């Protein structure tokens, strides 16, 4: 099964089949049927499911109260390149057994960072050569690459927004290397998640300089990548807090402002993460809609938060209604521009069987598949769209239409109101819409 490497890491688990919802096989998809056509294209094309290297291969379950709990058989070697190759073998075995076609990584998910930039670059290059062969042998593709400019202590005050230029320059070097790796592996997109781009206290912060520096930095990265022939999208991934108290890319609207303020709108879109949306006290579907309205709905990081404490717990998606509402936005806005659905999610600390990683991804894929089927049924079979059109019908003819067309003045509104009297009360009918969605869940 494993391509190149000859060890099998996930023993006893074969390719995950689609068996339909009557199946009792926990290692089968119940709803995700890759080739099934929904709204004009196969499910797998709607989603482009990706495995996140960091959670799946690197995260052993450490938390602030204790160390990792998971024993990964690919973590045996203490020699960095040998360990990295084992990790890559396990990654590709997992992706192909899941029947997924994509993966995403941070530079130092691939291989441990070395003591010098030059040595780190060498290690990454070695792994890029290795991954290239694995991609060719398996057909698996890189959805996006990114750089981890937040874990190393040097970034404790930020990367591109760091108050020290030397750190900004180091981040620049790291991102150049990560861009080179992404481009060489045919990466379809490149992600910037702000990491520690933000601040803890305004007392010691020159906020405008920090934000302008981010703008300059993103432009440099974009210009460099375009110069190297990169044709894909750049994504900003909004997140409101954690690790910093105030993150500069708080939510979709804030990030769109950053993109426009620094003239990046032709190259940048957004990567919307479910748990980051809820951490910002928005719904996931709200964030998708804000991105879509700006023509910037690029990609999704799939997970879910904790409904009781709201934290960024990165659990696997399993809330069908939440995802169905999100898929309504997706279908109505013609899908993702360039990106896919990356499972930026981790199994719980006490889920210690290797099998659990499969169960988690199966559940996540099935949740998205069910959500898509529900949303498609609502659009195809129900009166949903008619109801929504009716709600806004006053803008589709007469004075309302003229208003939309920009033909009215404030005086016209005044005269309209004077001659039409008090507006009739019209119910918003939220419960009707909710019941309608529920009917297809």
Q: Which is nearer to Ni ion, 16 or 272 (CB)?
A: 272
| Residue of 31, 55, 106, 286 marked catalytic | 106
Question: Which residue among 193, 199, 217, 343 contacts ligand XLS (CB under 6 A)?
Answer: 193
Smallest CA-to-CA distance from 196 within 234, 249, 235 is with: 249
CB of 143 to Ni ion, least distance (A): 12
Phi and psi angles of residue 199, each rounded to the nearest 5 degrees, phi first: -150, 165
- Interaction of residue 93 with ligand XLS, rule CB under 6 A: no
DSSP state, 5? S
CB 246 within 8 A of CB 199: yes
Q: How far apart are the first and last CA of the chain?
A: 36
What is the torsional sign of CA 289, 291, 297, 303?
Answer: negative
State the binding partner of 366 from Ni ion, ligand XLS, none, CB within 5 to 8 A by kind. Answer: none
Cβ(265)–Cβ(257) under 8 Å?
A: no
Residue 127 · residue 139 · CB < 8 Å = no
Instruction: Indicate whether 182 belongs to the interface with ligand XLS (CB under 6 A).
Output: no
CA distances to 8, 160, 199 from 163, in Å: 47, 9, 10
CA 278 to chain CA centroid, nearest Å: 14
**Residue 246 annotated among the catalytic residues of the structure:** no
Reference 214, options 156, 264, 251; nearest CA is: 264
Write out the binding residues for Ni ion, residues 239-298 only, by CB under 5 A: 273
Q: Does 109 bind ligand XLS (CB under 6 A)?
A: no
- Among 120, 146, 188, 278, which residue sits at the site for ligand XLS (rule: CB under 6 A)? 146
Contacts for 194 with CB less than 8 Å, ≥ 6 apart = 236, 237, 238, 239, 247, 248, 249
CB of 344 to ligand XLS, least distance (A): 5
- Nearest Cα neighbor of 9 from 60, 71, 69 is 71
- Candidates 109, 249, 267, 366; catalytic one: 109
Q: Which of 344, 358, 360, 371 binds ligand XLS (CB under 6 A)?
A: 344
Sketch the per residue contact string, 300 through 319, with Ni ion: x for CB under 5 A, - otherwise.
-x------------------
The least distance separating ligand XLS from the CB of residue 276, rounded to whole angstroms, comes to 7
Check binding of 239 to ligand XLS (CB under 6 A): yes
The verdict on 237 binding ligand XLS (CB under 6 A) reads yes
Q: How far apart, in whole angstroms, are the C-alpha atoms of residue 56 and residue 301?
A: 14
* 109 annotated active-site: yes
Interface mask toward Ni ion for 331-370; x: CB under 5 A: -------------x--------------------------
Find out whether 369 and 31 touch, Cβ atoms under 8 Å: yes
Annotated binding-site ranges for Mg(2+): 237, 273, 276, 301, 312, 314, 344
Q: In this complex, which beta carbon is closest to ligand XLS, that of residue 314 or of residue 376?
A: 314
The residue number with the shortest CB distance to ligand XLS is 193
Which residues are identified as catalytic? 106, 109
Q: Which residues contact ligand XLS (rule: CB under 6 A)?
A: 106, 146, 191, 193, 237, 239, 273, 301, 312, 344
Q: Which residues contact Ni ion (rule: CB under 5 A)?
A: 273, 301, 344
């Amino acid at each position: 099964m494993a391509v190149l490497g000859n060890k099998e890491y996930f023993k006893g688990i074969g390719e995950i089949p689609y068996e339909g919802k009557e199946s009792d096989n926990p290692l089968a998809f119940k709803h995700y049927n890759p080739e099934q056509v929904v709204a004009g294209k196969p499910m797998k094309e709607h989603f482009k499911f990706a495995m996140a290297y960091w959670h799946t291969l690197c995260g052993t379950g450490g938390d602030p109260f204790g160390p990792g709990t998971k024993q990964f058989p690919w973590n045996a070697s203490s020699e960095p390149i040998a360990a990295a190759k084992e990790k890559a073998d396990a990654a590709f075995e997992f992706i192909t057994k899941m029947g997924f076609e994509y993966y995403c990584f941070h530079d130092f998910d691939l291989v441990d960072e070395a003591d010098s930039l030059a040595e780190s670059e060498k290690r990454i290059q070695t792994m890029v050569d290795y991954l290239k062969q694995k991609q060719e042998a398996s057909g698996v593709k890189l959805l996006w690459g990114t750089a981890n400019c937040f874990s190393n202590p040097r970034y404790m005050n930020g990367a591109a927004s760091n108050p020290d230029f030397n750190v900004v320059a180091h981040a620049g070097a790291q991102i150049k290397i990560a861009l080179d790796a992404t481009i060489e592996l045919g990466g379809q997109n490149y992600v910037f998640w702000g990491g520690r781009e933000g601040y803890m206290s305004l007392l010691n912060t020159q906020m405008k300089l920090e934000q302008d520096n981010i703008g300059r930095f993103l432009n440099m990265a974009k210009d460099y990548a375009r110069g190297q022939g990169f044709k894909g999208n750049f994504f900003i991934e909004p997140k409101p807090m954690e690790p910093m108290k105030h993150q500069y890319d708080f939510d979709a609207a804030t990030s769109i402002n950053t993109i426009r303020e620094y003239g990046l709108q032709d190259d940048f879109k957004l990567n919307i993460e479910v748990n980051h949306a809820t951490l910002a006290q928005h719904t996931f579907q709200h964030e998708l809609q804000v991105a879509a309205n700006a023509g910037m709905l690029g990609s999704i990081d799939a997970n879910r938060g904790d409904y009781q404490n709201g934290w960024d717990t990165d659990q696997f998606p399993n809330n069908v209604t939440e995802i169905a509402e999100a898929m309504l936005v997706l279908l109505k806005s013609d899908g993702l521009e360039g990106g896919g659905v990356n499972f930026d999610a981790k199994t719980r600390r006490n889920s210690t069987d290797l099998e659990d990683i499969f169960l988690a991804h199966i559940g996540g894929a099935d949740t998205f598949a069910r959500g898509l089927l529900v949303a498609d049924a609502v659009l195809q079979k129900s009166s949903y769209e008619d109801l929504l059109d009716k709600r806004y019908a006053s803008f589709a003819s007469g004075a309302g239409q003229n208003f939309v067309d920009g033909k009215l003045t404030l005086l016209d509104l005044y005269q309209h109101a004077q001659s039409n009297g008090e507006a009739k009360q019209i119910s918003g009918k939220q419960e009707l819409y909710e019941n309608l969605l529920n009917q297809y869940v």
